[in-house]
């Protein structure tokens, strides 16, 4: 590294000049996120930060398949509890039950699954109780629809 400016190069490099001119034009004003803290700015340094962020942003799981299915099953029960109709509850639970049954047919890697298909009628009953309805049903498709 030299201590003096090499001959033929101005004090302001080409890149610095481009940045300065863009600032003068206002190219950096009103950018998305302006004035907000940097995302993950207080996180410890990790050389793979960009890869982990991309995986998280894309919704790619890093869990072994069996644990991912367990999480999906928990999420499905949560979604079923917020469903708007009995038909929707049955559709959600039947869909996750199909995945659980498929995992029994074709074992997945990872820790033991320790899941059994959910009792659809029991989940529907819990959904009704959560909505304050004991015996009333909404009109529409009946049991087994959407399977």
DSSP the chain: --SSPPTT--SS-HHHHHHHHHHHHTTTTT-TTTTSPPTTTTSPP-TTHHHHHHHHHHT---S-HHHHHHHHHHHHHHHHHT-SSHHHHHHHHHHHHHHHHHHHHSPPSSS--------HHHHHHHHHHHTT-SS---SSS-TTTT-
Average pLDDT, the chain: 81
Higher pLDDT, 72 or 1: 72
**pLDDT value at position 10?**
73
pLDDT of 105 strictly over 50: yes
pLDDT of 69 strictly over 80: yes
Express as a percent the part of the chain with pLDDT over 90: 37
pLDDT of 42 strictly over 50: yes
pLDDT of 107 strictly over 90: no
Average pLDDT rounded to a whole number, residues 33-62: 82
**pLDDT value at position 19?**
85
**pLDDT value at position 82?**
93
145 confidence band (pLDDT: 50, 70, 90): very low
Express as a percent the part of the chain with pLDDT over 70: 82
């Amino acid at each position: 590294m030299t201590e003096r400016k090499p001959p033929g190069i101005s004090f302001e490099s080409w890149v610095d000049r481009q940045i300065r001119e863009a600032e003068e034009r206002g190219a950096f004003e009103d950018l998305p996120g302006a004035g907000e803290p940097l995302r993950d700015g207080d996180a410890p340094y990790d050389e793979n930060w960009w890869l982990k962020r991309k995986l998280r942003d894309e919704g790619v799981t890093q869990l072994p398949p069996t644990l991912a299915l367990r999480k999906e099953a928990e999420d499905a029960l949560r979604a079923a509890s917020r469903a708007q109709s009995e038909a929707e509850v049955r559709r959600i639970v039947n869909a996750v039950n199909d995945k659980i049954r498929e995992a029994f047919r074709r074992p997945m890697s990872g820790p033991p699954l320790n899941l059994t298909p959910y009792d659809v009628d029991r989940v529907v009953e819990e959904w009704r109780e959560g909505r304050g309805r004991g015996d009333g049903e909404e009109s529409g498709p009946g049991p087994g629809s959407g399977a």
